[in-house]
Structure 1
Amino acid sequence: MDRIAGRFSRVEPRLRTARLVLGLLSDLPRKNCWTIAEWAGEASPHGMQHLLCRAVWDADAVRDDVREYVVEHLHDEAAAVLVVDETGDVKKGTDTVGVQRQYTGTAGRIENSQVAVYLVYAGERGHAAVDRELYIPRSWTSDPDRCRAAGLGEDTVFATKPELARTMIERFLDAGHHVGWATGDEVYGGNPKLRTALEEHGIGYVLAVACSAELPTSAGKFRADAPAKKVPKRAWQKLSAGRGAKGQRFYDWAVIDLTETAPGRHQLLIRRNRTTGELAYYRCHSTTPASLATLVKVAGSRWRVEETFQTEKGLAGLDEHQVRRYPSWARWVTLAMLAHAFLAVVRADEHTHRPTPDDLIPLSCNEICRLFITLVVRPVRDAAHRLAWSDWRRRHQARSRTSHYRRQAASQT
């Protein structure tokens, strides 16, 4: 918290932010302004709501502090990869910023949801999100009044997910940092402008593409799945895409050179499932020749973003916010990123400075969070505090019920 303390001009929001971050790391079954305020010993949720809605502090400046904190502690000059991906939160209604019916991988189908794109810094020591951008659909950007009501700026324009990814990558580079590689799924691999931007910045990439993507070869343009059928058996190599929950993730891999006019080496990387035979395709670029093992390692880094989302949502309440306006969303997810970054850094430092005995598995973020809750952040509240919150909830519910009945009666007259 010392790193972001200077972002708050008054002591009250600074202290309340510390309590909110601790609440995000707590073992509460549901994390929002109400539950965290009660857990933290406050008399009502108004203070937490004020912190997210109206208090004076810059969420983007804190986001930059989170990025610097992650890069400083997880710095990996040789193997760091920037991973871009989006995640969605299913929402009800139409007033929450950015919500519309759209596909979200969280639900695996089209749902009324809010989608955000994240940038994850992944190295050998660990991985954590360093940036975020909310995806604002055209149905919102074409309605200035709706945007204004949700706290979006007057200059808000529609941006695709790859455009948001490019903005975050360039912001990372503008801050003076450098990585050799970037990776992402088909949403990003199929976007030529993002690929060109990475090439211009001298960043290699291994980006997934659809089987129908057209690629230039020495024999002309072909779909990605066409040359895969002609790869000789001897060209396939069994390599691991990295360690998973059940051990090394082994696949068969092959690579084919492409003929691009742009500088650098362009290749098609093909992954084959050793059990089902299912194929996946990656468009690759490197400023200097890269081995197949290197390309496979970068491709495998994409799973780090899934691990990041799982931990941020499971331990730090990333998706549990109950806010509607953009400023509140930006503040909540930034503080959730900070909470997760803390766990990732502690894990990295423990692995570096305290080697794990042979009869134990290395400390995970889940176990660190459990120890942190037990030893540091679990407060003990007396019965009077619990009863006072019960009265507050019931009083609020009574007011809400009365207001609802009045609106219902007025609509029927």
Structure 2
Amino acid sequence: MAGRKLGELSERLRSCFRRIEPFVQARKYVRAVTSELPKRNGWTIAEYVGDRTPDRTQRLLNRAVWDEAEAMAQIRRFAVSGLEEAARKGGRRRGKLVIGALDETGQQKKGEATAGVKRQHLGCAGRVENGINTVHLSYVREGVGHALIGFQQWIPEEHISDPVTSLRSALPLDLTFRTKGQLAIDICTTVAADGFRPDFYCGDEVYGSCTELRAHFEADKQAYVLRVQKNFRIILSSGMELSCDQATKTLLKRERQWEIRSAGKGSKGDRWYAWAWIATNSARHYLLIRKHLRTGELAFHYCYVPESALLTKTRLIRAAGLRWPVEEGFEFGKDCFGLDQAQVRLYTAIARHAVLVCAALAVCAVTAALLRDRTDSQAPEPLHPDQLPPADPGLIPLTIPEIKHLIAGTTTPRPPGHATHWVNWRRRHQARSRWFHKRARLARDIKITQVS
């Protein structure tokens, strides 16, 4: 099925290339990033696809004539339609949320010659490092899957205003400085032109603190659940203005005001937190607070729901819990397809590498979603902490990394059935680990309420 989906996406992308040679090279590039190569750069990709030098790969990224923006639009339409098809076939459309999750990811770089490079905080490094940052949008279908469908690289203002740096990085002549929140507006505007309108947009504090982004969503009657910092100020229905932290301490003193609910299923089962919400002076704005059950750590979400949409605490909790797949998208993009391995310097080349990685990720994401029900044979979950383990734990559904391993196995000389054997071995091992983890969690003395 993955091969068929790759062919389907290739047909969509053909119109983005003026000549056949760059298109053929782009298909080779996608095949290479889906391989088991430990590093993906011009040299390793050229060697893998059979080229005699890296020239064709470098030309594809730097100088060839093709429309990377239109290619990303085709990838987005492919991913959205594919995940929607999977939801329809699996009976997961009715009552399930569709989320647009915003976040940025970094890539460490050496020197000062790369477009947008600057010493800045990089989440991938966990500290201030030399690197670049890119804002991404992930399309998330609850209970089905997710894929990266749009991005914009953040370029420091001093790079744009300096003609030497701008020329060296090949920045577009009409490029203007945009904050990460403003880049998120640009991405959301672009995908809205394709007809993409999620139930909620979600993002962390970078986007929740952007007044312009919140105003953009509200002007468009678009619901959102955005993380904000504890000093973010809200106006209560009484007219009093307090920070999120102050409002929580003032209004949520009783234990019964908190509800323990799941923020959705992770790889090891439900993610349980205590939740509460506080009304503001607007009937459509709420502050949603999440409390960690062991540490008591608080996270704040500023929420807006237009009058035409359903407003319940349950929907807001579900939306807040569906922001994490964008992080998983970064993990898969980097670990499986080399999203952060672009050894290029020019602005367009960085974007083109990201587009081709998103193409490979979309193929695997859609394939995994379509095969989800057919490949899930996990044993029933434990019901009590003393339950004996099943004789056969079964297999977890095929995941994006395992789909990638199967695709790579078709191009690497190995004994018959070798790739399938190891994919199934890992899936059975993960199913067994999940079962024991869920049984261990049953022993915790926590009263839980399932989100319906």
1:111 is matched with: 129
Q: Which of 47, 62, 82 is the equivalent residue of 1:53?
A: 62
Following superposition, the deviation at residue 207 of structure 1 comes to 0.4
User: 2:242 matched to 1:222?
Assistant: yes
Q: Is the Cα contact below 8 Å between 1:257 and 1:266 reproduced in 2?
A: yes
Structure 1 residues 132-182: Cα deviation after superposition (integer angstroms, max 9, x where no partner): 100011121221231122111112111000000011011111122221210
Query: Counterpart of 2:350 in 1: which secondary structure?
Result: helix
| Separation in structure 1 between the aligned mates of residue 401 and residue 348 of structure 2, nearest angstrom | 29
| Separation in structure 1 between the aligned mates of residue 378 and residue 155 of structure 2, nearest angstrom | 48
Following superposition, the deviation at residue 370 of structure 1 comes to 0.9
- 1:10-409 matches, cutoff 5 A: 10-75=19-84, 78-124=96-142, 125-219=144-238, 220-229=240-249, 230-231=251-252, 232-260=254-282, 265-287=284-306, 288-352=309-373, 356=377, 358=379, 359-375=394-410, 377-378=411-412
| Separation in structure 2 between the aligned mates of residue 5 and residue 353 of structure 1, nearest angstrom | 31
TM-score for the superposition, normalised by structure 2: 0.81
Q: Is the Cα contact below 8 Å between 1:32 and 1:321 reproduced in 2?
A: yes
Task: In structure 1, give the amino acid aligned to 2:73.
Answer: D
User: 2:13 matched to 1:4?
Assistant: yes
Greater shift, 351-360 or 96-105, is seen at: 351-360
Greater shift, 73-82 or 9-18, is seen at: 73-82
Following superposition, the deviation at residue 357 of structure 1 comes to 5.9
Task: In structure 2, give the amino acid aligned to 1:112.
Answer: N
| Separation in structure 1 between the aligned mates of residue 210 and residue 17 of structure 2, nearest angstrom | 39
Query: Counterpart of 1:3 in 2: which secondary structure?
Result: helix
| Separation in structure 2 between the aligned mates of residue 181 and residue 362 of structure 1, nearest angstrom | 27
Q: Is the Cα contact below 8 Å between 2:146 and 2:329 reproduced in 1?
A: yes
Gaps of 5+ in 2: 1-9, 88-92, 380-393, 415-452
Structure 1 residues 30-88: Cα deviation after superposition (integer angstroms, max 9, x where no partner): 01111011011111111101111111101111011111111111136751100100011
Structure 1 residues 109-133: Cα deviation after superposition (integer angstroms, max 9, x where no partner): 1111100000111012210111110
| Separation in structure 2 between the aligned mates of residue 96 and residue 355 of structure 1, nearest angstrom | 44
Q: Is the Cα contact below 8 Å between 2:375 and 2:398 reproduced in 1?
A: no
Where do 4+ consecutive residues of structure 1 move more than 3 Å? Answer: 352-358
Query: Counterpart of 1:4 in 2: which secondary structure?
Result: helix
Query: Counterpart of 1:241 in 2: which secondary structure?
Result: strand
| Separation in structure 2 between the aligned mates of residue 161 and residue 186 of structure 1, nearest angstrom | 11
Q: Is the Cα contact below 8 Å between 1:40 and 1:379 reproduced in 2?
A: no
Q: Is the Cα contact below 8 Å between 2:376 and 2:396 reproduced in 1?
A: no
| Separation in structure 2 between the aligned mates of residue 141 and residue 9 of structure 1, nearest angstrom | 29
Task: In structure 1, give the amino acid aligned to 2:260.
Answer: K
| Separation in structure 2 between the aligned mates of residue 225 and residue 307 of structure 1, nearest angstrom | 29
Query: Counterpart of 1:367 in 2: which secondary structure?
Result: helix
| Separation in structure 1 between the aligned mates of residue 109 and residue 228 of structure 2, nearest angstrom | 29
Q: Is the Cα contact below 8 Å between 1:39 and 1:379 reproduced in 2?
A: no
Q: Is the Cα contact below 8 Å between 1:144 and 1:154 reproduced in 2?
A: no
TM-score for the superposition, normalised by structure 1: 0.88
| Separation in structure 2 between the aligned mates of residue 111 and residue 43 of structure 1, nearest angstrom | 35
Following superposition, the deviation at residue 378 of structure 1 comes to 2.6
Identity level (%): 37
| Separation in structure 2 between the aligned mates of residue 10 and residue 289 of structure 1, nearest angstrom | 49
Following superposition, the deviation at residue 206 of structure 1 comes to 0.7
Query: Counterpart of 2:44 in 1: which secondary structure?
Result: helix
